[in-house]
């Protein structure tokens, strides 16, 4: 107990300026911080969580990472490679029980109903997205945990400048998902300045990955296309050919999750949330890049009007200068590298 308390103090002070006197404490802090920080990932069975768990295990030690999900079959899958528990994040009692039992220091709250699904069930989207967030914030406040809850390019809307969208700008989304994300950003900043909770976040663009499939998002086409091309050689796209959106390859997204949370708090002028991006493309551009490696691939369009309208209201390209300046964000994957790596990974998976 005392050890746990001392570690928390170490963690909270991890960002002080290093000078000669502080040096031994700094090394001790860094050692303990990475050695014994207990991390809970809520909503761990989804697209991000499935790959965040092994990424965190490598950095902070396998035993220090707890994966939590709502569904028993997912918990069973997760438990094959990590410590895993069943948790409905909208149930505050069970959530705080797990925090106490595992002495959690840091929470990744990945619970979300995404943009397209959110439009089918707006009330449920609000209940789940905001319910999980509010519980996470209250718990973080009560138990002194740091909290990461991703925001999204979905937080922007039609009246936002679409090119080089600035960090601080108009945010009037017209989807329930976007409304939740803007509310979540405001609420997380409120808990930070009102109660001192260490809340941090990024606005994720579409995330392209080859682990678990995304579900219910507007940017999902940029993942689905790889599976369809490798499996059947053709793909029908629901997004208009010239609709630009920002994207990140998963390895960059994972680094964003840990680098922001490990960043020196004294350097953060913003907290909730930072623009981050690695590439911006339209379906037409992505498909011509795929064609360089699979010349026989065929593409056609059957536009989904809901997804098309959402894509149209989102930025074409983000300006992520603040993330670069305040915590050293720098993506490593571009379109060409990502396409080659995705094709290789999906071919291997399908084989
Ligand atoms: C979605 O398309 O809803 C998500 C997102 C960009 O937040 N992938």
Q: Measured between alpha carbons, how far is residue 62 from residues 82, 253, 314 in Å?
A: 7, 20, 38
What's the rounded mean pLDDT across residues 149-164?
98
- CA atoms of 79 and 144, how far apart (whole Å): 27
Ligand 1: atom nearest CA of 207 is 8
Percentage of the chain exceeding pLDDT 70: 90
- Coil, strand or helix: which one is 300? strand
Give 18 Cα–ligand 1 centroid separation in angstroms. 39
What residues contact residue 313 under an 8 Å CB cut-off, 6+ apart? 156, 157, 158, 173, 174, 175
Percentage of the chain exceeding pLDDT 90: 89
Residue for token pair 């790596």: 341
Ligand 1 site residues (CB inside 6 A) read 114-115, 152-154, 177, 204-206, 214, 217-219
Ligand 1: atom nearest CA of 118 is 3
Residue nearest to atom 7 of ligand 1 (CA): 152
pLDDT at residue 2 tops 90: no
- Coil, strand or helix: which one is 18? coil
pLDDT at residue 187 tops 90: yes
What average pLDDT is seen over the chain?
A: 92
The reported pLDDT for the residue numbered 4 is 46
Q: What's the pLDDT band for 284 if we cut at 50, 70, 90?
A: very high
Report which of residues 196 and 32 the model is more confident about. Answer: 196
Task: Give one DSSP letter per residue of 246-284, joined into a string.
Answer: EEEEHHHHHHHHHHHHHS-GGG-S--S-EE--SEEE-HH
- CA atoms of 274 and 329, how far apart (whole Å): 10
Tens of pLDDT, residues 84-107: 999 999 999 999 999 999 999 999
Provide the token pair at 122: 């707006």
Active-site residue (options: 108, 177, 221, 249) = 177
Q: Is 177 a catalytic residue?
A: yes
Q: Which residues pair with 84 in a beta bridge?
A: 67
pLDDT at residue 128 tops 60: yes
Residue to mutate (ligand 1; options 150, 153, 156; most atoms within 8 A of CB): 153
Torsion 75-78-80-86 (CA) sign: negative
CB 343 within 8 Å of CB 230: yes
**Nearest of 175, 116, 105 to residue 145 by alpha carbon:** 105
Tens of pLDDT, residues 159-177: 999 999 999 999 999 999 9
The reported pLDDT for the residue numbered 35 is 63
Tens of pLDDT, residues 17-58: 333 444 444 444 455 555 689 999 999 999 999 999 999 999
What is the dihedral angle through the alpha carbons of 248, 250, 251, 252, rounded to the nearest 10 degrees? 30
Ligand 1: atom nearest CA of 214 is 8
pLDDT at residue 231 tops 80: yes
The reported pLDDT for the residue numbered 34 is 59
Q: Measured between alpha carbons, how far is residue 348 from residues 7, 49, 119 in Å?
A: 42, 21, 35
Give 317 Cα–ligand 1 centroid separation in angstroms. 14
The reported pLDDT for the residue numbered 36 is 85
Give 173 Cα–ligand 1 centroid separation in angstroms. 13
pLDDT at residue 270 tops 90: yes
Residue nearest to atom 4 of ligand 1 (CA): 217
């Amino acid at each position: 107990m005392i050890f746990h308390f001392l570690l928390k103090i170490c963690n909270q002070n991890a960002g002080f300026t290093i000078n000669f006197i502080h040096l031994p404490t700094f090394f001790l802090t860094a050692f303990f911080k990475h050695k014994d920080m207990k991390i809970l990932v809520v909503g761990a069975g989804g697209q991000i969580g499935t790959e965040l768990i092994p990424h965190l295990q490598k950095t902070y030690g396998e035993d220090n990472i707890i994966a939590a999900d709502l569904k028993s079959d997912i918990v069973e899958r997760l438990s094959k490679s990590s410590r895993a528990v069943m948790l409905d994040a909208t149930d505050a009692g069970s959530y705080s029980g797990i925090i106490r039992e595992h002495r959690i220091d840091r929470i990744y709250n990945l619970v979300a109903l995404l943009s397209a699904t959110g439009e089918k069930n707006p009330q449920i989207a609000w209940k789940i997205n905001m319910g999980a967030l509010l519980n996470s914030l209250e718990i973080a406040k009560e138990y002194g945990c740091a909290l990461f809850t991703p925001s999204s390019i979905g937080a922007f809307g039609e009246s936002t400048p679409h090119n080089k969208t600035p960090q601080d700008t108009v945010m009037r989304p017209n989807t329930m998902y976007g409304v939740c994300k803007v509310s979540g950003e405001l609420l997380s900043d409120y808990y930070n300045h009102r109660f001192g909770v260490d809340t941090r976040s990024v606005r994720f663009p579409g995330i392209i990955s080859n682990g678990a499939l995304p579900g219910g998002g507007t940017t999902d086409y940029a993942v689905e296309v790889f599976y369809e091309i490798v499996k059947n050689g053709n793909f029908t796209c629901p997004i208009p050919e010239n609709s630009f959106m920002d994207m990140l390859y998963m390895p960059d997204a994972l680094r964003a999750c840990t680098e922001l949370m490990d960043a020196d708090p004294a350097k953060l002028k913003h907290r909730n949330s930072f623009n981050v991006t690695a590439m911006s493309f339209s379906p037409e551009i992505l498909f011509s890049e795929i064609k360089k490696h699979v010349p026989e691939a065929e593409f056609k369009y059957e536009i989904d009007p809901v997804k098309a309208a959402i894509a149209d209201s989102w930025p074409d390209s983000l300006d992520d200068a603040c993330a670069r300046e305040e915590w050293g964000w720098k993506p490593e994957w571009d379109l060409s590298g990502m396409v080659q790596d995705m094709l290789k990974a999906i071919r291997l998976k399908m084989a």
